[in-house]
Amino acid sequence: MHIYKKTFLSVLVLGSMIACTTAQHQASPNLGQPMSALEIKKLDISIGPDGVGLPVGSGNAKLGAKVYEAQCVSCHGVKGQGKPVDALVGGIGSLSTDKPVRTVGSFWPHPTTLFDYTRRSMPLQSPKSLTNNEVYAVSAYILFLNGIISEDYELNQQNLAQVKMPNRDGMIDFSKEKAVTYK
């Protein structure tokens, strides 16, 4: 009699699992709805190193200092020195030393990366809340603090990609490297 109870319980548990699985498939949340080209374009805010995708707008370091003070200083410290999170300035020329300091100015090879990252991820408490002009301005401020552009230099979609970053030639472009096959 004991073996019949185990078998009955096993069949009962298996049946319940099948019933639950079937019920889950029937109650679909309608995920995976097709998006229109316009909806995709609104979400695709990627910007490449060449500046393709940069939006209309402009800003300089003087305006950026105000945006930085209001939106960035609490995390990145006065003039981008860091604390409580990463520093944004300094370290230029330190990458080949025993103690490299990786900042926007010393490590990032493209100024468009600064704009792209800031626009999509900052400020931390409310990403994507800055206007394009504010992102251009705060990007200009950070580049100014790193000694890369002057305080009056007006960043915009036409000239941002042309700004020469100190580490522009320090990265390997694997898309241009010959593929290696291991056997």
Let me know if residue 3 belongs to a domain: no
Let me know if residue 145 belongs to a domain: yes
Let me know if residue 169 belongs to a domain: no
| pLDDT per position as a tens digit, 68-102 | 999 999 999 999 999 999 999 999 999 999 999 99
Let me know if residue 42 belongs to a domain: no
Sign of CA dihedral 133, 139, 144, 147: negative
Q: In the numeric block, which tokens belong to residue 109?
A: 């090879």
What is the model's pLDDT at position 42?
Answer: 80
Mean pLDDT across 118-134: 96
Cβ neighbours of 47 (radius 10 Å): 22
CATH code of 98's domain: 1.10.760.10
Domain that holds residue 99: 57-162
Cβ neighbours of 177 (radius 10 Å): 8
| pLDDT per position as a tens digit, 5-48 | 666 666 666 667 776 665 555 666 778 888 899 988 888 888 99
Q: Look at the chain and report how many structural domains it folds into.
A: 1
Q: Range with the lowest mean pLDDT among 29-43, 78-92, 123-137, 147-161?
A: 29-43
Let me know if residue 106 belongs to a domain: yes
**In three state form, how does the secondary structure of 4-30 look?**
HHHHHHHHHHHHHHHHHHHHHHHCCCC
Q: Are strands 58-59 and 155-156 parallel, antiparallel or unpaired?
A: antiparallel
Q: Compare 153 and 10 and report the one with higher pLDDT.
A: 153
Do 118 and 136 touch, CB atoms closer than 8 A? no
Let me know if residue 134 belongs to a domain: yes
Let me know if residue 97 belongs to a domain: yes
What is the model's pLDDT at position 162?
Answer: 97
Let me know if residue 26 belongs to a domain: no
**Residue 105, burial from CB neighbour count under 10 angstroms (0-12, 13-18, 19+):** buried
